[in-house]
Amino acid sequence: MGKRDRLSGNEAVAVAMRQINPDVMPAFPITPSTEIPQYFSSFVANGQVDTEFIPVESEHSAMSAAIGAEAAGARTLTATSSCGLALMWEELYVAASNRLPIALALVNRALSGPININCDHSDSMGARDAGWIQIYAENNQEAYDNFIQAYPIAENPDVRLPIMICQDGFITSHGVENIELMEDEQVRAFVGDYAPEHFLLNSKESMAVGPYATTHYYMEAKKQHAQAMVNAKQAVLDVAEKFEKATGRSYGLFEAYHLEDADYAMVLIGSAAGTAKDAVDELRDKGVKAGLLKIRLFRPFPAQEIANALAHVKAVAIMDRAESLSSQGGPLGSEVMAALYRARSQALAVNYIYGLGGRDMRVEHAEEVFGQLKQIADAGEVTDAYRYLGLRE
């Protein structure tokens, strides 16, 4: 039996961490993720967990300590946002290439500059090629559920990769919602004990972590890393199936909302999905066949599955809460458009940049996008495939 509670997204993730009871948490505070280590340190102080909490001097040190602890055989996690993730940059690649299943609670916030503390996805999208699994949440319940599922995915023997569990800064991290929590014993049974195959403190085996890779070995290591990322997709689905049996809550690679017969579709990540769903509902009441595809798993990217889900639509809007500054659109736009192209999809696609620096996307904005999709479908062509939504005139 689950139990109801009223929690912010940060509180919900901290509770999930407490229920998992990890071995080590190194952390350094940064808005808007500061509350996660703050709440968790109180659990440590109160004796509610057995975790070694390490207050470090920077986010670079936090990830460095996480790498050391995980390599030693300890289940390890941390939390950060924005420039904190950027300061970890070097170590993100080290963690992934060493195949260390560290869990990171990332509360999405705009990267400087200009300096901004509000939500967009520029931090996690900037790290999209670092070799970490990335899972995104729409709301507080999903942030909690995703973190419970993190270790069974990351520690899978066919995967063994670090994982980012992402939620939108302030919108979900500080917004309070009613959610359903699992019982502590149920979480620990679901996550299980960590049993690494190789680790530095294993007295029966000598090993090195992070050795120099010469030309003769570097590419092979990258290929193994790439294959592990391929394997992660099935691990995500397997863990989601197990989670549904335990809780009744269903997850997949993405959520399709009124998509099965949609003529016009929107693709996006994160909390704006709730706004888009309201717009879809209103348009459906007016006879417009609108639909939504909300991406949960961004790394590895489920390209073929997304293309299949959008195969029948006339026009699709890909919504990016990050600007790649490529002059071609955002990172999600480039990935979805590539997936549609490879699948030889006939859907007409347009990429919108929205919500940067915390700017709201309202229901009327989403309805405006769907109206433009109808115009594109009627015209049979896209004249401007890279657009901004909600700019001040």
Q: Is the pTM of this model over 0.85?
A: yes
Domain boundary among 215, 247, 279: 247
262 and 169 assigned to the same domain: no
Confidence at residue 210, expressed as pLDDT on a 0 to 100 scale: 87
Does residue 210 sit within a domain? yes
201 and 277 assigned to the same domain: no
Confidence at residue 320, expressed as pLDDT on a 0 to 100 scale: 98
Residue type, 28: F
14 and 160 assigned to the same domain: yes
213 and 259 assigned to the same domain: no
Domain boundary among 247, 282, 302: 247
323 and 199 assigned to the same domain: no
288 and 349 assigned to the same domain: yes
Does residue 182 sit within a domain? yes
262 and 202 assigned to the same domain: no
169 and 273 assigned to the same domain: no
- Number of domains comprising the chain: 2
User: Where residue 92 sits, what CATH number does that domain have?
Assistant: 3.40.50.970
Does residue 309 sit within a domain? yes
User: Where residue 319 sits, what CATH number does that domain have?
Assistant: 3.40.50.920
291 and 170 assigned to the same domain: no
188 and 330 assigned to the same domain: no
pLDDT, one tens digit per residue, over 140-162 is 999 999 999 999 999 999 999 99
Confidence at residue 1, expressed as pLDDT on a 0 to 100 scale: 61
Confidence at residue 359, expressed as pLDDT on a 0 to 100 scale: 97
Domain boundary among 196, 228, 247: 247
Low-confidence residues of the chain: pLDDT under 70: 1
Domain that holds residue 241: 3-247
172 and 282 assigned to the same domain: no
177 and 275 assigned to the same domain: no
Does residue 393 sit within a domain? no
